[in-house]
Amino acid sequence: MFLKRNPLVFLFFLFFCLLAAGFLTYSFLLPRYVEKKFLPYVGRQLSSTIAGQVYSIGFSAADFGEIVLGDMLNPAVTIGSIHADYSLPSLLAKNLGHIKVNGLSLSVDVTDGRITLPGVVLENLASSQAESAGPQQSAQMNVAVTMESFQISNGLVKINYNGHRLLLPFHLQLTNKPEGGRESVYSIHLQMMPLGEEITLEGTIDLSGNRSVLTLTAESLDLHKLLVLSDKDGFGFNLGKTSISGQAEIDLLPLQLVTLSLNIDPDLLHFGNIPIRFGQGSHGTGHAIHLKVSSNEEKLLVNAQGSVHEPLAVSLEINGSVVQEQNDLTGAGNIVIMNAEKSDQRVLLLESGSELQADFIFARNKSGDWKGELKSPLQKQHEGQSQQLHVHFDTISLQSGIPTFTILGQGTADSAELHASLAL
């Protein structure tokens, strides 16, 4: 009776009930729904399980934590916490706002060239994406949502490879930078610290254009530490400190290298007790070693240029191609050795009227069995006389015809055998 005589009170009471229902939904029902229904659904898409806690979901922020993907005893992914800042208009525009992830840990197994996550069937995810893409694969990725920024702090990748475990701490920052009418363009800053060494990747990722351009920087990287990833000891080389810089262009889906350009500047290498110094102006690049890789249909085209100043003063260039079919690797190419600049050091100098060349082929299968051949081409005579090779060391000089040689090699993952023949 009182409510009928006071409609304003009735409306206020109704509004209060709606607020209470909304508060109950956001504070209790929606978090429980995400935990009990949505996370298990995502896990089933990965042929795995996902468990986690939803601390809060509101009109402008949400907090999650204790996310586990895979088996609890051997999880593929664990996440300490996720915080999201957004607004209702941004959600309606399919923009997730700002997302911060803290304490992400990813376990990766590398076996026979295949990358797997424990307890997760990646093939199922790839097949579902292929089905949704339809029979004709588009050059663009269909991006359903965007973000203002995405950040991972205190990330860790645990890589199991050849019986070794490499811990790779990292920090990742993605920031939305639309360009040319494309909303799904992000700047990326990735800092990785393998075994205490620092590697930085910066660039852009264009999700709608299915392309990423990255710049790599690694100052004074101790490559000898990274030999833990193999069963080799460096073949007698002490690799020391090396600076690496370069740029890569990558297709995102399927993941494929388009072009790669690397500049490599070792400080000083040693082969046993013999020091090896590189030049700093290989073929006008200003770097000791310059590497270019490009993708051409089913093969990779490789060009490498370098110069050595000690103990042998020489410049060389390698051109070749590499083809991988399933787990088999084959390649072929040519090596050109050129006269180096004069040196004030007591080093071995090679001089000839023409470039020294050699052709090579190699093959390696899934089991690690390999074979290869390095062979010099037949030398042509110039004006009726064969080309001469001059060898200088300090005050000693030698002269001979340009030698022809053949080096054959074969082996397994545990052993190697070489045969060489030389004719002067």
Residue from 374, 385, 320, 324 nearest 352 by CA: 385
CA distance 379 to 259: 35
Which pLDDT band, with edges at 50, 70 and 90, does 337 fall under?
confident
Residue 152 has pLDDT above 90, yes or no: yes
> Of the segments 226-230, 384-388, 403-407, which one has the largest average pLDDT value?
403-407
CB atoms within 10 A of CB 412: 11
For position 58, what pLDDT does the model report? 79
* Percent of the chain's residues with pLDDT above 70: 71
Give 340 or 89, the one with higher predicted confidence. Answer: 89
Residue 21 has pLDDT above 70, yes or no: no
Residue 69 CA: distances (Å) to CA of 30, 72, 272 = 21, 8, 47
Domain contains 388: yes
> Of the segments 118-127, 234-243, 271-280, which one has the largest average pLDDT value?
271-280
> Of the segments 110-119, 330-339, 385-394, which one has the largest average pLDDT value?
330-339
Domain contains 210: no
Tokens for 165, please give them: 């475990």
SS3 state at 198: coil
Residue 345 has pLDDT above 70, yes or no: no
How many whole angstroms from its chain centre is CA 275? 31
Element (H, E) at 334: strand 328-339
Residue from 400, 321, 403 nearest 362 by CA: 321
Domain contains 303: yes
For the stretch 49-90, pLDDT in tens is: 888 888 888 788 889 999 898 888 888 899 999 999 988 888
Q: Using only the alpha carbons of the chain, give its radius of gyration.
A: 30
Tell me what the mean pLDDT of segment 113-139 comes to. 60
Tell me what the mean pLDDT of segment 405-416 comes to. 82
For position 135, what pLDDT does the model report? 46
Please give the residue range of the domain that contains residue 348.
Answer: 296-424
Domain count, the chain: 1
One DSSP character per residue, 60-115 reads SEEEEEEEEEE-SSSEEEEEEEEEEE--HHHHHTTB--EEEEEEEEEEEEEETTEE
CA distance 11 to 396: 107
For the stretch 245-254, pLDDT in tens is: 999 999 887 7
For position 79, what pLDDT does the model report? 93
What is the pTM assigned to this prediction? 0.75
Domain contains 398: yes
For position 175, what pLDDT does the model report? 94
Residue 100 CA: distances (Å) to CA of 4, 79, 141, 265, 365 = 51, 11, 24, 36, 43
Window from 10-24, 326-340, 409-423 with minimum mean pLDDT: 10-24
For position 247, what pLDDT does the model report? 94
Domain contains 222: no
For the stretch 348-404, pLDDT in tens is: 556 665 677 889 999 988 777 889 998 987 655 445 455 666 666 666 666 666 778
> Of the segments 133-137, 257-261, 385-389, which one has the largest average pLDDT value?
257-261
Long-range pairs of 319-322 with CB within 8 A, sequence gap ≥ 24: 320/360, 321/296
Residue with tokens 């029979």: 135
First vs last C-alpha separation in the chain: 118
Domain contains 156: no
* Percent of the chain's residues with pLDDT above 90: 24
For position 140, what pLDDT does the model report? 59
For position 260, what pLDDT does the model report? 94
Residue 218 has pLDDT above 80, yes or no: yes
Give 239 or 102, the one with higher predicted confidence. Answer: 102
Domain contains 279: no
For the stretch 278-301, pLDDT in tens is: 876 656 667 888 999 998 878 899
Domain contains 227: no
Tell me what the mean pLDDT of segment 103-119 comes to. 83
Residue 99 has pLDDT above 60, yes or no: yes
> Of the segments 31-35, 173-177, 285-289, 324-328, which one has the largest average pLDDT value?
173-177
Tokens for 405, please give them: 């040689």
Q: What is the mean pLDDT of the chain?
A: 78
Tell me what the mean pLDDT of segment 234-261 comes to. 82
